[in-house]
Chains A and B, each alone.
Chain A
């Protein structure tokens, strides 16, 4: 979250130990408005793709596992 130390401006009433957060909204606006055809959930870059793939992998595995789990739970067990 904190982008790095910055020089404190004399006019802000910030404690001397406080680090200022940079305003990066303009850069983010430029990134997400770039005309590259990417959908919003992947437009942020490679981190998006990694998180998406991990989520989808869990979704697919989970779907399979729940079908297996419910099918086996509904079968009578041999004594």
Chain B
């Protein structure tokens, strides 16, 4: 076997970029076919393919890092840059929806009654469930930091407990938000108020679910002894993502729930 004389990672040829690309193609055309022809087969196929791709791609990364030792310090630096750039792109994604919200709410049109909230909209009380949701996510930020320190100090059981608590708080947020969606006195079809509210909070909720899943994978890896006190970048990436989700909520809460009510 030829040995590399450098610290970088030359990845084995992999089929997952292709399967992922086809999955994305199926997902997008499947969406269009569903809209126009009421058939969900393409959409479902795309979803399954994307899930299979994600599972196997990330499984392979764990093999390359934890089992083959390819994640040397320079490689880890690259992974850190990658995660930071990805989260930055997500910040810009949400910035768009905040732009839409402020565009409509700072200069409300006559069709809305010239006011914000628009005439006829009963907003949610920001000091009820939304405030609880804020507390839940802030608490989860504390527990994920506790988990990080536990991992760094080699406290296996504490890391497992605090990580589990973080995930449970994430589930609690999602549950509370789902109840709010069900009980809300307005829908996504209720003018620009409904659109901005549900699209912004909806995408945020999706990111909470993604973040909770990422943390759950980290919990499984922690239980299986993958993380060491000095090397646990997968967990750090999940924690960064989680903090990002928390910060987006704080902006949502202050802008849409509080100022916008």
* A binding-site residues for B, Cβ under 8 Å: 1, 12-14, 21, 23-25, 28-29, 31-33, 35, 39-41, 43-44, 51-52, 54-56, 58-59, 61-63, 65-66, 69-70, 73
A41 contacts B26, CB within 8 Å? no
List the B side residues contacting A65 at CB < 8 Å: 41-42, 45
A1 contacts B223, CB within 8 Å? yes
Min CB gap A49→B, angstroms: 12
List the A side residues contacting B25 at CB < 8 Å: 62-63, 66
List the A side residues contacting B226 at CB < 8 Å: 25
Min CB gap A66→B, angstroms: 5
Among B64-72, B79-87, B105-113, the stretch in contact with A: B64-72
How many chain-B residues does the 8 Å CB contact rule pick out? 40
A18 to B19, CA, bound (A): 40
List the A side residues contacting B236 at CB < 8 Å: none
List the B side residues contacting A41 at CB < 8 Å: 12, 14-16, 56, 60
List the A side residues contacting B6 at CB < 8 Å: none
Among B46-54, B120-128, B178-186, B203-211, the stretch in contact with A: B46-54
A63 to B46, CA, bound (A): 10
B60 contacts A59, CB within 8 Å? no
Q: Which single member of B41, B56, B63 contacts A32 (CB below 8 Å)?
A: B63
List the A side residues contacting B11 at CB < 8 Å: 40
B64's closest neighbor in chain A, by CB?
Answer: A40
B19 contacts A33, CB within 8 Å? no
Interface string of B9-39 (1 = CB under 8 A from A): 0011111101100110110011001001100
A59 to B41, CA, bound (A): 14
A51 to B157, CA, bound (A): 33
* B binding-site residues for A, Cβ under 8 Å: 1, 11-16, 18-19, 22-23, 25-26, 29-30, 33, 36-37, 41-42, 45-46, 48-49, 52-53, 56, 60, 63-64, 66-69, 157, 220, 223-226
A55 to B56, CA, bound (A): 10
13 contacts between A and B (CB under 8 A): A25-B224, A29-B67, A29-B69, A31-B67, A32-B68, A33-B69, A40-B63, A41-B16, A55-B56, A59-B18, A62-B22, A62-B46, A62-B49
